[in-house]
Amino acid sequence: MKYLRQSNICFFFVPKLTTWLNQQDNTMDKTTEEKIYEAARRIFIIKGMEGARMQEIADEAGMNKALLHYYFRSKENLFKAVFKDTFTKFFIKVKDTLFSDISAKEKLVVFIDHYIDLIEANPYVPQFIINEINRDPEVLKSLMFESGVEPRKILELFLNEVQSTNLSKLDPRHIVISLLGMLIFPFVARPLLQMVYFNDDQEAYNKFLSERKEIVKNMILKFIEA
Amino acid sequence: MKYLRQSNICFFFVPKLTTWLNQQDNTMDKTTEEKIYEAARRIFIIKGMEGARMQEIADEAGMNKALLHYYFRSKENLFKAVFKDTFTKFFIKVKDTLFSDISAKEKLVVFIDHYIDLIEANPYVPQFIINEINRDPEVLKSLMFESGVEPRKILELFLNEVQSTNLSKLDPRHIVISLLGMLIFPFVARPLLQMVYFNDDQEAYNKFLSERKEIVKNMILKFIEA
DNA sequence: AAATAATTTAACCATTCAGTTAAATTATTT
DNA sequence: AAATAATTTAACTGAATGGTTAAATTATTT
Whether A116 is in a domain gets the answer yes
Residues A68 and A129 in one domain: no
Helix axes B125-135 and B75-98, enclosed angle (nearest 10): 110
DSSP assignment, residue A102?
S
Give the CA-to-C1' distance from B20 to C21 in angstroms: 59
Structural domain for A63, as ranges: 12-73
Query: Rounded to whole angstroms, how far apart are CA atoms B188 and B174?
Result: 20
DSSP B169: S
Residue of B nearest to A142 (CA): B195
Q: Kindly give, in sequence order, each residue whose CB lies less than 8 Å from that of residue A101, ignoring residues fewer than 6 positions away.
A: none
Alpha helices of A52-122 — where are they, by DSSP H? 54-61, 65-72, 75-98, 104-121
Q: What is the mean pLDDT of residues A199-214?
A: 92
Q: Is the pLDDT of residue A219 over 60?
A: yes
Task: Compare A100 and B35 and report the one with higher pLDDT.
Answer: B35
Answer yes or no: is B82 within a domain.
no
Tell me if B2 is assigned to some domain.
no
Residues of A in contact with B195 (CB under 8 A): 137, 140-141, 144, 151
Angstrom distances, CA of residue A32 to CA of A87, B94, B109: 23, 50, 56
- Supply the CATH number for residue B49's domain: 1.10.10.60
Evaluate whether residue B80 is within a structural domain.
no
Q: Are residues B66 and B93 both part of a single domain?
A: no
In this prediction, residue B12 has a pLDDT band, given cuts at 50, 70 and 90, of very low
CB–CB contact A171 B208 (8 Å): yes
CA–CA distance from B174 to each of A3, A82, A126, B100, B223 (Å)?
49, 33, 20, 21, 10
**Rounded distance in angstroms from the CA atom of residue B57 to the C1' atom of nucleotide C15:** 21
Chain C nucleotides near the protein (CB, 7 A): 6-11, 17-22, 28
Residues of B in contact with A208 (CB under 8 A): 171, 173-174
Q: Give the side-chain half-sphere CA count within 13 A for B120.
A: 15
Q: Is the ipTM of this complex over 0.85?
A: no
In a domain, A136, yes or no: yes
Closest C-alpha among B83, B89, B72 to residue B36: B72
Q: How many CB pairs under 8 A join A and B?
A: 144
Q: What is the pLDDT of residues A26-82, one digit of tens each?
A: 434 688 999 999 999 999 999 999 899 999 999 999 999 999 999 999 999 999 999
Average pLDDT over residues A201-213: 92
- A192 and A169 inside one domain: yes
Centroid of chain to Cα B48: 14
Taking phi over 0 as left and psi of -120 to 50 as alpha, with beta for the rest, A225 belongs to: beta
CA distance B106 to chain A (A): 20
Considering only CB atoms, which chain B residues are within 8 Å of A137?
191, 195
Select from A47, A73, A99 the last residue of a domain.
A73
Instruction: Decide which of B20, B51, B73 is a domain's last residue.
Output: B73
Last residue of a domain, one of A73, A97, A125: A73
Higher pLDDT, A8 or A172: A172
In angstroms, the CA A64 to CA A95 distance is: 39
Task: Assess if residue B6 is contained within a domain.
Answer: no
Start-to-end CA distance of chain B, whole Å, equals 59
Pick A225 or B78 by higher pLDDT.
B78
| Closest listed residue to residue A201, CA positions, set B146, B185, B151, B142 | B151
Q: Count the domains in chain B.
A: 2
Asked if residue A102 and residue A196 are part of one domain, the reply reads yes
Whether residues B136 and B210 fall in one domain? yes
